[in-house]
Every structure is written in C-alpha cells, then in structure tokens.
Structure 1
Amino acid sequence: MGPPVKRGDVQVGDMGLLRFLYSAVILPLGWACAIAAVLAQGGRFSGHLDVLTHFAPLYVAGGVITVAASLFVAERRLPLALAAIAVLASGALIAPELLRRQSPAAPADAGGQLKLVQFNAALDAKGLEERLAWLAKEDPDILVVEDSREVFQTAVAQRLGRYMACGRTCGVAIFTRTPPLKIESPRRGRYGLGPSIAAVHMADARGEFIVAGIHYQWPTKVRTHRENGLRMLQVLKPLPKARMIVVGDFNSTPWSFDRRRDDAAIGLERRTRALPTWPANGPFGLAFLPIDHVYAGEDWRTVEIRRGPRLGSDHYPLLVLLAPK
C-alpha cells in the first residue's frame, strides 16, 4: 500500500482519530463545563447547586482546553459555543473576587506588626521536624492550627515555647507567645461536628484584640456547612470587631454564594484575595482552590499575606502580617 493520502494538512489516516477525540473528548468536556458553570449560578438559591461554584476555575480551564482542541477539527462551532458559555459563566462567578476593593496596605516597615500563621495540619504529624523548623524560623506571634493531632500540639507548645488554647475541643488550637487574657469556648453547632471554633483575647501596646480560629465542614455537607456559617456569626456577633482577626479553613471559595453571604454578614474585611491553598499535595503542589481565609477589623492594616511551603498537609499554610491602623 502507498502512503496515506493528504487532505489539506491532515492525513486521511488521522481523520478517524480526530472524529473519536471530537465525539469522546472535546464535546463531552465542553458540555460538562458549560452545564456546570450555568447550573452554578443557581447557587444563589440552592446550597446544593452552590457546591458547583467552588470549581469555577476548572470550568474555565475546561473551556480553554475545548477551544484549543477544537482548532484541530473541522466541526468547531458547537465546541466553541460551549467553551464560551463555560468561560463567561465561570468568569461571572470569579470576577467579583478579583475586582473587589481592598483597604490600603501598610508599608513593610510599619510599626507594631503582628505575625500570624494559619495552618490546617490535616490530622497528620507527618514531617513534624520540617513543620517545627519552618515555624521556628518564622516565629509567629500567633499560630492557629486546624485538624492537628496531640503530638503536633505538644511539640509546638513545648519546643516553640507557646501557650495553647482550645475551644471545647482542640479541633482548632491557638498558640500564643504570651498567655491569653481570656479563652472563648463556644459550643458546637446543631449538625455534625462543626464548626470547630476557638477564640482568644490578647493584648498589645494598643490594647485588647481578639483572634478566632474557624474550621468548617466540607461544602458537600450542605446543611452542616450552612449551619457552620450561622454558628460562627452567632459566636462573633457580641464581640468587638475593630481589632478582631478571624482565620481558618472555611472550606469554601470566595466565588461561592455561601462565602459571599458570610463576607457581607461578618462585619470584617476579608484580607485574602483568591489565594489558592488546596490541594497542596496534588501534582507539582498545584493548588487551585482558595479555601483558607483571613479576616481583620478596621483597626488593622495588611502588610503582607502569602503562602508558606508544603508541609505534609493537603493545605498550604498562610503567613499573615498585620499592623495597627
């Protein structure tokens, strides 16, 4: 037999493969991303549909891949239309987070800075020495840890010389350089085991301030996750907000409607902006979901917020520098 006959730039022998990719890969990917992105808009009214909003970056990526793949086939109108729907609908979810205004940052040499680290340890003491070495190097004034085991808690308290405070359980543990003035021990919510909440009253040269640590249940547990937010707001409502700091693993992205509702109700500015922290244990450490957040009252200015290194957890830690206003 002779060589394959060419039609344009594509060999006839390749046409079957292209048709297969079109029907088995390109169209299903385009349909899946477009449908998910459109259904996610229903998160305004349904907690179950709101689960879809968290994965908006994946719908954008799927739309881009669909566009790129459609360039190699002749029938490209449908995949291009699906890709446009996926990108535009997902972009409508993500854009408010990228465009929202934030308060002016403080200079790097601002006085009276407070250094805080937030870290979901994923119920694992793996890499304990590496974790302790990084924490000792950063030497935070306050460390808020979710999902940590006793061996990690004891090591931090003893080897780093910190005071440890918990709520009714140590699902959230707060480690401080100086003893807290008071420890809040709020009861848990009605459903499930969450949220885990701990709060400490601290003091500096400007007076008293409050640091609260939060850990929500996964958003797929719709009723529990929503109750977590309501319980958090109930706990924080009577406390003074101007010098309050709230950090934790909220298990929700900024483009979910649930997080937007909490942002509006909490009375504090969220200082993190689309900073992905999960999953830290994926390929190449590529995190794509911002589910760990930092809130602070109006008397704090943000100096810097950045991710720490991979420390054996599926979450990256957050390093936070705040300065008095």
Structure 2
Amino acid sequence: MHTTDLGWLIYCLLITFLSFIHLLRIDAWWIRIWDFPHTQLTVLAGIGVLGWLSFVQDFSWPLWLAPVGLTAALLYQGWLIWPYTPLHPRQVMRQRSPRRLRKQVINDPNTVRLMSANVLMTNTQCPKVLALARKHKPDLILILEASQQWAQALKPLEADYPYQILYPQENTYGLLFYSKLPIADQKLRFLVEDDIPSIYAQLTLRSGQVMHFYGIHPQPPSPTEHYRSTERDAELVLVGREARQQTEPVLVAGDLNDVAWSHTTRLFQRISGLLDPRVGRGLYSTFHANYFFLRWPLDHVFVSHHFRLRTLRRLPNCGSDHFPILVSLVYHPDPTRANQTPQPEGDDLEEAQDIVHRAKHD
C-alpha cells in the first residue's frame, strides 16, 4: 500500500471512530467530549470521502470499509443535526404579529423576554453587557460566570430590575438573575455539587399568569473541569423531573455545558416534556465566540407547551467566549400542544434514576 493510501485510510478510520465513540454510554470526559463537535466531524467526514475518491480509488477488500464508514458517519451526523435545520418541523410555534401592532407586542402582558449570557468571569468588557441589556430591554436577565466584580459592574441594572437573585462566585459558576417581573418564590439551590448553584424563581407575568423559571450552569466533562459527566447529567435530570410536575408555564435557560443533539439533552427533553425553540430553525451556536471553526450550541432555552415564540436571536459578542442569547416568548396556551410534548421512552426513567444515584453516592 502506498504511503498516500495508508494516510487516507488512517484518516478515514479515525474520523469514523470519533463520529461514533460518543454512543458508548460511558461518562468519562474523554468519551463525552465527542458529543460536542459533530458539525466539525461532518465537515471532516466529507473531506475524507472526497479525498478517498480523488486520491485513493481503491475499493478492494478491506479498503472499501474506509469510504463506507465515512458515508455512514456523514449520514449519522446529518441525522443528529437535521432537527436544527429549517427542513424539520418546529417544536415551538411562531407567534406572528403585523408590523402595525409592534408597539402593542412590546407591551403585551403575556410576553416575556429573556437575555442569557455567559460573560466569562475574566472578561472586563462589562459595559457591552449593560449596553445589550439597555438596547433590548429584556424582562429577565441571566448572567453566568459572574464574579463579585461582575456583580458590582452590573449594579446599574438594579434600578430597572427590582427583583434579583444574586450569587457571584470566583469559581466561574456564579449566577446573577435580574427580573422586571415580580418573584413570588425564589430558591438558590445546589442540586448536585456544593459549589455549583442553580436558581428557581416563580414569576408572575404582567397578565397575572404564573410561570416557573430555572437558571442552570452545571460543570462540563473536561480535563480541566470534571473527570465525568454524571454530575452535569444528574442536574439536568433533577430539573427535568421538577419541570414535568409543573402545571403552569416553564422556562429553563442557561449554559448546560452540553450540546442540543447529545443523548443527555435529548433525555432531558423526554424527562421534562419541554420543547426546544431551535428545532426547525437553526443551531444558534453560542460557543466558541472567537473561533468559528470550533462552535456549537452550548447555551439553551427550553420551554413548556404553553409558549409560542416571537423571536430567538444570538446577540453580538460582549467580550466572552460565548455569544448571549435573546428569546421572546408569548404565553399562548393550546390544549392540543399538551399532547405533543416529548415523553420518556424505553428505559429513560431507569436511566435517569441511575444517573442521580451515581452522582449522589459514587
């Protein structure tokens, strides 16, 4: 075998292997990190197929396994990403309004606007975040990776956002939550790990409708953060279980340190019954803001069937490694939508129970 042929064979086998390794239900970080780069692996698999056809063209046994493996990888990546394209039916319906009614839309008592931003704790461009908040005037602002310095820099927000849950930390897991909507009940919680907070708030829309908000930012599996994904997965399961029990509208937002197409996030949707507004619209990849070739959707918004979507936008970078996200939702209950929410499948409930048990006892 020529050196060129051998090089392409190794390349093809490697990309095929990396495309499927995440299917192993092993929570070690060096397995789970391959949940993330599926758009990149799609491009690399396509290059491999073209390279094989252009430079090798040897389809004898067992070499034909290389292009077959890459083709299977391409089809699999397409299956994962397809829901986040306009070709897929939308999970959250659009709430359309004529232009002449735009002012009424802004003041609609059933509308709630959220800006979620992982600001990067070491980022010093605080005025950019303030400018985004003042420009878009969201009802809710969730700031992640908030240090004491960030809490001080964003203090001007408190004049317009009289309701707050503030828990800055110096470990990149601080949270700041600002609300124009009254908070009837609020909890700062440490669901799995003692230094990883999440928030729960029972909010009241201007129409008087009660809604439940969860802001989360679990630890990712990585060599610098956590050696496994179990704790992250358990936090998602616990929030998902609680969301399923709510009868009023639910909104979950934050940096989940997981991608939209992963097994864990799809399990979260089936456990919670919540819907993803990106489905049928786009990836809205938020990380990494500085490297377009290493970008995937880490910052999420999930909603109950009570909501329709007005807008979903990825906002300009504010000096962080994440783009902020802005979402505008309308409380628009439709009884028929309640029967179309994701439901647990197969052994989902047993798997969820096992994840929580391992996170708390291993």
Q: Same fold (TM over 0.5)?
A: yes
Matched residue type, 2:165: A
How far apart in 2 are the matches of 1:100 and 1:258? 22
1:241–1:106 CA distance, 2 compared to 1 (3 A): same
Q: Does the CA contact (< 8 Å) of 1:168 and 1:186 recur in 2?
A: no
Residue 105 of structure 2 corresponds to residue 131 of structure 1:
no
Residue aligning to 2:68? 81
Residue aligning to 2:265? 259
How far apart in 2 are the matches of 1:218 and 1:54? 11
Shift of 1:94: 2.9
**What does 1:282-293 correspond to in 2, within 5 Å?**
282=291, 285-286=292-293, 288-293=295-300
Residue 180 of structure 2 is aligned with which of 144, 161, 177? 177
Residue 47 of structure 1 is aligned with which of 27, 31, 34? 27
Residue aligning to 2:165? 165
**What does 1:98-113 correspond to in 2, within 5 Å?**
98=85, 99=88, 101-108=90-97, 109=102, 110=105, 111-112=108-109, 113=111
Query: Per the alignment, in what secondary structure is the counterpart of residue 226 of structure 1?
Result: helix
Shift of 1:308: 0.4
1:58–1:139 CA distance, 2 compared to 1 (3 A): same
Superposed CA RMSD: 2.7
How far apart in 1 are the matches of 2:144 and 2:278? 18
1:102-124 Cα shifts (integer Å, max 9, x gaps)? 13210144433222101111213
Residue 50 of structure 2 is aligned with which of 68, 74, 78? 68
Residue aligning to 1:8? none
Shift of 1:70: 3.1
How far apart in 2 are the matches of 1:122 and 1:96? 29
1:219–1:293 CA distance, 2 compared to 1 (3 A): same
Residue 82 of structure 2 corresponds to residue 95 of structure 1:
yes
1:22–1:100 CA distance, 2 compared to 1 (3 A): farther
Residue 218 of structure 1 is aligned with which of 217, 220, 236? 220
Residue aligning to 2:200? 199
Shift of 1:57: 1.6
Query: Per the alignment, in what secondary structure is the counterpart of residue 80 of structure 1?
Result: helix
Q: Does the CA contact (< 8 Å) of 1:120 and 1:317 recur in 2?
A: yes
Unaligned runs of 5+ in 2: 223-227, 333-362
- TM-score (normalizing by structure 2): 0.74
Query: Per the alignment, in what secondary structure is the counterpart of residue 289 of structure 1?
Result: coil
Matched residue type, 2:79: A
How far apart in 1 are the matches of 2:34 and 2:189? 31
Residue aligning to 1:33? 15
1:149–1:21 CA distance, 2 compared to 1 (3 A): farther
Give % identity.
18
How far apart in 1 are the matches of 2:51 and 2:179? 53
**What does 1:13-24 correspond to in 2, within 5 Å?**
22-24=5-7
Q: Does the CA contact (< 8 Å) of 1:167 and 1:184 recur in 2?
A: no
Aligned residues: 299
Shift of 1:21: 5.2
Residue 242 of structure 1 is aligned with which of 248, 262, 270? 248
Query: Per the alignment, in what secondary structure is the counterpart of residue 189 of structure 2?
Result: coil
1:242-276 Cα shifts (integer Å, max 9, x gaps)? 32211011111122111111011113212233321
**What does 1:295-310 correspond to in 2, within 5 Å?**
295-310=302-317
How far apart in 2 are the matches of 1:130 and 1:234? 36
Shift of 1:173: 1.7
Higher relative contact order (CA 8 A, sep 6+): 2
1:174–1:287 CA distance, 2 compared to 1 (3 A): farther
Query: Per the alignment, in what secondary structure is the counterpart of residue 281 of structure 1?
Result: coil
Residue aligning to 2:191? 188
1:81–1:237 CA distance, 2 compared to 1 (3 A): closer
How far apart in 1 are the matches of 2:120 and 2:79? 32
Residue aligning to 1:142? 140
Q: Does the CA contact (< 8 Å) of 1:217 and 1:228 recur in 2?
A: no
1:81–1:187 CA distance, 2 compared to 1 (3 A): closer
Shift of 1:75: 3.4
Shift of 1:146: 1.1
Query: Per the alignment, in what secondary structure is the counterpart of residue 321 of structure 1?
Result: strand
